[in-house]
Chain A
Amino acid sequence: MAVSDIAASDIVETVPTALIVLDRNLNITSANRAFYQTFRTSADETEGCHIYDLGNGQWDIPALRALLESVIPHRASVEGFEVEHDFPTIGRRTMLVNARKVFRPGDHDGSILLAIEDVSEERAARVESKRYWHLIQSIVDTIRDPLVVLENDMTIVTASKAFLKIFGITEAETHGRRVAELGQHQWDVPALRHLMEKVLPENKPIESFEIEDNFPGLGRRVFNLNARKISQPGNHAHRMLLVFEDITDRKQRERDALSLTNEISHRIKNNLQIVVGLIAYEAKWTAAPCVQGYKAMQARIGAIAELYDLISQSSRGQTVAVDAYLREIAKTMSASLIGTMSGIEIEVKAEPLEIDPDRAVPFGLLVNELATNAIKNAFPQGAGHITLSVEKVGDEIELIVADDGVGMKDKDSVKVPEKRGSDYVAIFVRQLGGTIAPSVSEGTGTIVRIRLPLLLIPGGAERVAA
């Protein structure tokens, strides 16, 4: 069946728009089902009734009178005539009325077809949306940080007063333009554009995107950009809030601090290198049995230097990451294992625990002594595996240094260098308030277990990783 085969009356009864037909005297000759449903009335109450008398006169609306009595007589049709009225049966409504004169053969007076669409919800949403964006504009103007609100197509809807003031532009210069087009195109950065394109469709905020450039009238500046999607509840329209935070001063302070830290680090490491060099020079002219002692001293200085990078990044209240520190020790020791000892591997298994900087030096020296002892004594063939592990056990830290070497022999305890190393171990454990379990041989290796109190000053400090 073609659309043209369907009876006009069937179409009239099916469409959701309320339709009524009036004669030349404005009496209602018919109405469709949508009209009866929308205005909660019936055919009996409607047909033959004058439009102004319908429903106890609720259609006697000045605006409708103007349409029917002044406009229609002079025009064949009227579209989009808006009527807002309080209907006793359905409350306040906004109606969009289309009117058309209809002539049938032999009927010279003609009839008037009124199509009435209830647009109340749409109009209410529009008013609410206006109110909402007006509120947004008020907030935008109140915030001290420069910011803009962008439309879906990335054009600027509004810019805050702070934005206009800082960048020395007028509202007219921003409206409808893209951020990338502003100024001397400082914001036209591909990475930023890419991120901005994802904010609305994927609801992916931009967090701290840094741009450093020369800005007219401002000079060299660093801005931190943050963006997120803003939307009105129940409304499908979304916009983007883009905030520009001027972090130039903060960045400069960070750079100054980093530069100073680097300068100090350079001097300290060079001084430590001189100490290590002095020892190396002495070792060169020392009898072979004493050389090991000099090398052990160099390793201890190295262990303190390892910590320096971590400690110097921490300030009051911050902590050093034990796991990261153990990995640094393992890396440095592995780099020292050359020639006949190059087959020794050092592995780290560590929980993410923390240590306060004051106790980090004895802890580092303790690990260095235990690992050095294992390297020196466990592997006469120059190959094997050492594991450095740290885990939290109750309210203590357990440090384990294990190897799969030849195990302990009684005669080791009387060797002078190792005895000195053990003395150091005892001193560092005592300094840290810990206890050392007797070393045990398991299979072909040795395991040393040391229990230490938690090496963290209470009070929730920030963590510094390597």
Chain B
Amino acid sequence: MAVILVVEDDVFIRQVAEMMIQDWGHDILSASDGDEARVFLRSDQHIDALFTDIYLKDSVLGGCELAHQAIALRPKLRVLYTTGNFVTEKMKALFIEGTQFLRKPYTQNQLEGCVAAMLAA
């Protein structure tokens, strides 16, 4: 089972996502923004994957920036993005190669499929 860092600024959405992920046997680390996430990423905590919203509070592409910083700190980290916004070409260009993407609103089946694909990659 894996340790997944969940970054989502909406508390309810984050907690439901964490509930689903924990139901599949994974451990979660919870962050509401990039700053909280970076504390985990810079720590000695073992982390297998990052599941981040792209639009984080005041930063429209905050999740993309966070993922790049996360990979710089932990090159083997797997990444799954999510957003309710339109996925623009500019946004796609910021995605780290080989990562997964999930559009909101997502069901538990869709999240389960993406998490499985992310961890298998």
Contacts and interface: CB of A to CB of B under 8 A. Distances in A.
Interface string B104-119: 1111111011101000
B40 interface: no
A265 interface: yes
Contacts of B106: 273, 276, 302
Nearest to A297: B107
B16 A309 contact: no
A281 B60 contact: no
Contacts of A272: 84, 104-105
A268 B86 CA distance: 12
Q: Looking at chain A's contact residues, is the secondary structure mostly helix, strand, loop, or mixed?
A: helix
Interface stretch (A30-38, A200-208, A331-339): A331-339
B19 interface: yes
B104 A262 contact: no
A344 to B, nearest CB: 13
A144 interface: no
B104 A309 contact: no
Interface string B34-71: 00000000000000000000010000100000000000
Interface in A358-401: none
Contacts of A283: 108
A131 interface: no
A262 B86 contact: yes
Which of B13, B105, B106 counts the most A-chain CB atoms under 10 A from its CB?
B105
A295 B110 CA distance: 11
A68 B114 CA distance: 98
Contact of B19 (A273, A284, A336): A284
A338 to B, nearest CB: 4
Interface in A260-292: 261-262, 265-270, 272-278, 280-281, 283-284
A269 B85 contact: yes
A51 to B, nearest CB: 79
Interface string A294-311: 010011011001000100
Contacts of B23: 284
A336 B60 CA distance: 27
Contact of A298 (B55, B60, B107, B114): B107
A345 to B, nearest CB: 15
A269 B105 contact: yes
A309 B103 CA distance: 11
Which of B13, B102, B107, B112 counts the most A-chain CB atoms under 10 A from its CB?
B107
Contacts of A269: 83-85, 103-105
A332 B10 CA distance: 23
A269 to B, nearest CB: 2
Contact of A276 (B85, B107, B116): B107
B116 A273 contact: no
B20 interface: yes
Contacts of A301: 105
A273 B13 contact: yes
Interface string A1-33: 000000000000000000000000000000000
Contacts of B86: 261-262, 265, 309, 313
Interface of A: 261-262, 265-270, 272-278, 280-281, 283-284, 295, 298-299, 301-302, 305, 309, 313, 332, 335-339
25 contacts: A262-B60, A262-B86, A265-B86, A266-B55, A267-B84, A268-B84, A269-B105, A270-B10, A272-B84, A272-B105, A273-B10, A274-B13, A275-B105, A276-B105, A276-B107, A277-B16, A283-B108, A284-B19, A302-B105, A302-B106, A305-B104, A338-B109, A338-B112, A338-B113, A338-B116
Interface of B: 10, 12-13, 16-17, 19-20, 23, 55, 60, 83-86, 102-110, 112-114, 116
